[in-house]
């Protein structure tokens, strides 16, 4: 990042992890089949904001059947499984600090709800099971998963039919970027890698959080005193995936155990 606020995202680190930071822009073709996966790019517009989406659908879908597939809304990537995966291209910091990316994820869910309520024929919507929508995100995407799910829960507390017929069936944060203002044991004793060091972690948080915020901000520390009580959140079933060498892994068990004691579904799992 330069003094004028501009950002150069050219990867200068080891080549073996360059694919993690290489952007893949929407294809020029409306629909593209590759390696048994059908890709389709869409742009949704709301409140003068454009959000880019990429759909990943099994090429084996039988268009003649009424079978519907679960929906996986993925922040920061995509995957391959017997489901329709929607990868959300969220706005990036530091040009767009949080909650911009959270808003993009929430906007995408609102669009899915409108698709579920629409009577119009849609080549994608006709194959989506809106009663089985999952959120998944890795690293900072795991934080987005938590924040979007918490917003959905607040909506349902105020109006139980707000999201109908869409149902958030589960969330999967993959080594989410939960931190505290003080170092955890894994941060102090863990081995830094080429893709993430403690210095990088601190700088990335400083660029992503609202101006003037510290690491205890709820977006980075949902288990902290400044965040809503975790027991009060209405959260769906959760599976948290933790990698052995993640520098911030020690913050997760505390977060999940507390977050599923109250208004949520009450089910949580680690892997």
The residues, ordered by sequence, that sit 6+ positions from 92 with a Cβ below 8 Å of its Cβ are 101
Rounded CA separation 147/102 (Å): 7
Burial category of 110 from C-beta neighbours within 10 Å (exposed 0-12, middle 13-18, buried 19 and up): middle
Rounded CA separation 153/156 (Å): 5
pLDDT per residue over 110-136, tens digit each? Answer: 999 999 999 887 877 888 999 999 999
Rounded CA separation 131/164 (Å): 9
Query: Which pLDDT value is given to residue 10?
Result: 78
Residue 4 forms part of a structural domain: no
With cut-offs at 50, 70 and 90, classify the pLDDT of residue 165.
very high
What does the angle CA 271 – CA 132 – CA 239 come to, to the nearest 5 degrees? 15
Whether 17 shows a pLDDT value over 80: the answer reads: no
Residue 252 forms part of a structural domain: yes
The answer to whether 44 touches 53, Cβ cutoff 8 Å, is: yes
Query: Which pLDDT value is given to residue 120?
Result: 82
Whole-prediction pTM value?
0.83
* Closest C-alpha among 259, 98, 126 to residue 90: 98
Residue 93 forms part of a structural domain: yes
Task: Confirm whether 265 is a catalytic residue.
Answer: no
Catalytic residue among 103, 104, 246, 250: 246
CATH classification at residue 107:
3.40.50.1820
Residue 161 forms part of a structural domain: yes
- E strand intervals along 102-176: 128-138, 168-174
With cut-offs at 50, 70 and 90, classify the pLDDT of residue 7.
confident
Query: Which pLDDT value is given to residue 126?
Result: 85
Q: Which domain holds residue 161?
A: 15-270
Residue 8 forms part of a structural domain: no
Catalytic residue among 87, 139, 140, 184: 139
The answer to whether 173 touches 240, Cβ cutoff 8 Å, is: yes
Residue 122 forms part of a structural domain: yes
Whether 162 shows a pLDDT value over 60: the answer reads: yes
Residue 2 forms part of a structural domain: no
3-state secondary structure at position 138: strand
Q: What distance lies between CA 242 and its chain's CA centroid?
A: 15
Whether 153 shows a pLDDT value over 60: the answer reads: yes
Task: Confirm whether 246 is a catalytic residue.
Answer: yes
How many structural domains are present in the chain?
A: 1
pLDDT per residue over 50-93, tens digit each? Answer: 898 888 888 877 666 778 899 999 986 444 578 899 999 999 99
Secondary structure string (H, E, C) spanning 23-58: CCCCCCCCEEEECCEEEEEEEEEECCEEEEEEEEEE
Rounded CA separation 175/240 (Å): 7
Residue 1 forms part of a structural domain: no
Rounded CA separation 5/242 (Å): 34
Whether 13 shows a pLDDT value over 90: the answer reads: no
Task: Calculate Rg over the CA atoms of the chain.
Answer: 19
pLDDT per residue over 176-233, tens digit each? Answer: 999 999 999 999 999 998 778 999 999 999 999 999 999 999 999 998 889 998 888 8
**Average pLDDT, integer, range 37-55:** 86
Query: Which pLDDT value is given to residue 23?
Result: 65
The answer to whether 123 touches 205, Cβ cutoff 8 Å, is: no
In percent, the amount of the chain with pLDDT more than 90 equals 48
β 268-270/238-240 pair status: parallel
- E strand intervals along the chain: 31-34, 37-46, 49-58, 69-75, 84-89, 128-138, 168-174, 238-240, 268-270
In percent, the amount of the chain with pLDDT more than 70 equals 84
């Amino acid at each position: 990042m330069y003094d004028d606020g501009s950002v150069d995202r050219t990867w200068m680190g080891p080549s073996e992890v360059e694919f993690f930071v290489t952007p893949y822009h929407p294809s020029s073709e409306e629909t593209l089949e590759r390696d048994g996966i059908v890709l389709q790019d869409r742009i949704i517009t709301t409140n003068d904001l454009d959000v880019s989406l990429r759909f990943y659908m099994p090429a084996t879908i039988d268009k003649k059947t009424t079978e519907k597939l679960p929906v996986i809304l993925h922040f920061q990537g995509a995957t391959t499984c017997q489901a329709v995966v929607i990868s959300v291209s969220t706005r990036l910091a530091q040009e767009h600090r949080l909650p911009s990316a959270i808003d993009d994820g929430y906007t995408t869910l609102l669009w899915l709800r409108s698709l579920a309520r629409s009577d119009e024929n849609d080549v994608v919507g006709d194959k989506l099971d809106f009663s089985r929508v999952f959120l998944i995100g890795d690293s900072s995407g795991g934080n987005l998963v938590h924040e979007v799910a918490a917003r959905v829960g607040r909506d349902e507390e105020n109006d139980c039919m707000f999201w109908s017929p869409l149902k958030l069936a589960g969330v999967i944060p993959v080594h989410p970027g939960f931190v505290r203002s003080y170092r955890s044991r894994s941060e102090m004793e863990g081995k830094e890698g080429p893709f993430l060091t403690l210095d990088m972690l601190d700088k990335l948080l400083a660029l992503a959080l609202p101006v003037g915020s510290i690491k205890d901000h709820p977006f980075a520390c949902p288990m902290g005193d400044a965040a809503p009580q975790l027991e009060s959140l209405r959260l769906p079933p959760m599976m948290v995936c933790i990698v052995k060498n993640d520098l911030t892994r020690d913050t997760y068990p505390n977060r999940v155990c507390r977050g599923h004691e109250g208004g949520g579904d009450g089910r949580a799992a680690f892997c």
